[in-house]
Amino acid sequence: MDKTKVLIVDDSSFMRKIIKDILESQPDIEVVDSARNGKDALEKVIKLQPDVVTMDVEMPVMDGLTALKEIMEANPVPVVMVSSLTSEGAEVTLKALEYGAVEFIAKPGGSISLKMEDIKDQIIEKIRIASKSKPRRIILEKRIIQTPTVRKETPVPPASVQQKKTVLPFPVILIGTSTGGPRALHKVMDDLSSNINAPVFIVQHMPATFTKSLAMRLDSISKFSVKEAEDGDIVKPGHAYLAPGGQQMGVIYTDGILKVKLTKEEPVNGHRPSVDYLFNSFAKYNFSKVIAVIMTGMGYDGRDGMVKLNAQGAVTIAESEETCVVYGMPKAAVEANAVDVKVPLDNIAFEILNAYKNITR
């Protein structure tokens, strides 16, 4: 069996030992070495060529963010950030994800955590996910020329379905993503035109502290007003609603008013928030003028909901494999024949605008 080789980077010998013991309890993972700071990590990445690096944030000599940027510029390797479950830890982690980290582990109980065993399964799963990802030289990426794409032929819904359409006064845009999502969302929300008179609903698989910070970061760069959704929010065009970590986000439609509905129902496909939960919430009403997007992520969350939306005549868009950090969720939707358009990340906003123009003619 080819083992996943992991380099552990943390200035705490205790944390290095805990993480090593967790990972080496698995027959398919091998810890090849550890490093006490970012400078040490850079040298060992070049020397050992690990499959995955776990990177602490706060370290002497060279911190984790600086080391991450240098790794992604010079010698890209999947990096999993290890940070505390605080607002400060969330902010730094989101920066790291934008710089090219593929995943993160939130330490329970502080920077020197005595509770890492409590999240043992999560740590192992994230290392395995990272080992299947495609890190990129973020600084050197070239923009992709946006050109119109040829949509797959989709059947016109039967008259019986068309007659049952719920007509909203505006189109809606739904976006679902997971591993690699924060950076992809940053790109799409930055690119989305202010001429789009529609609300945006976003599901990103993340804990609660992190979704609040993500909403703030997206709001700072987007032409839309982005917020972490609250139960009962009246949905308005020009606003984007990010599902809070630990809650499912759907909608209710009564008396011509669309509102956000948050619940703590059971996870769907192992996730809360879940992309399928959001998509199915919209499919239940058979709304007209829906644009649904699935981007980078592990697994198949969003596939079943996209199948339903596509059958109802929604425009469905998936990120193509060449720009996905993990080509899981989009691939599942494509293989289910539920995708109209498959394009690289740089073209997602362009395709959303095209779809918006077509459905509002």
Per-residue b or e along 165-187, where b marks 16 or more CB atoms closer than 10 Å to that residue's CB: eeebeebbbbbbbbbbbbbbbbb
Q: How far apart are CA 96 and CA 269, in angstroms?
A: 26
Please name the residues in contact with 220: beta carbons below 8 A apart, sequence gap of 6 or more.
none
Please name the residues in contact with 213: beta carbons below 8 A apart, sequence gap of 6 or more.
87, 90, 91, 94
Amino acid identity at 36: R
Residue with tokens 């599942």: 332
Q: Which tokens hold the place of 117?
A: 């065993």
Q: Assign residue 44 a region: left if phi > 0, alpha if psi is -120 to 50, beta otherwise? A: alpha
Q: How far apart are CA 320 and CA 244, in angstroms?
A: 26
Amino acid identity at 38: G
Q: How far apart are CA 258 and CA 236, in angstroms?
A: 8
Please name the residues in contact with 125: beta carbons below 8 A apart, sequence gap of 6 or more.
none
Per-residue b or e along 144-153, where b marks 16 or more CB atoms closer than 10 Å to that residue's CB: eebeebebee
CA 77 to chain centre: 19
Give the residue ranges of DSSP H helices in the chain.
Answer: 13-23, 38-48, 64-74, 87-99, 120-131, 159-163, 181-191, 208-221, 275-285, 303-311, 329-335, 348-359
**Catalytic residue list:** 178, 205, 301
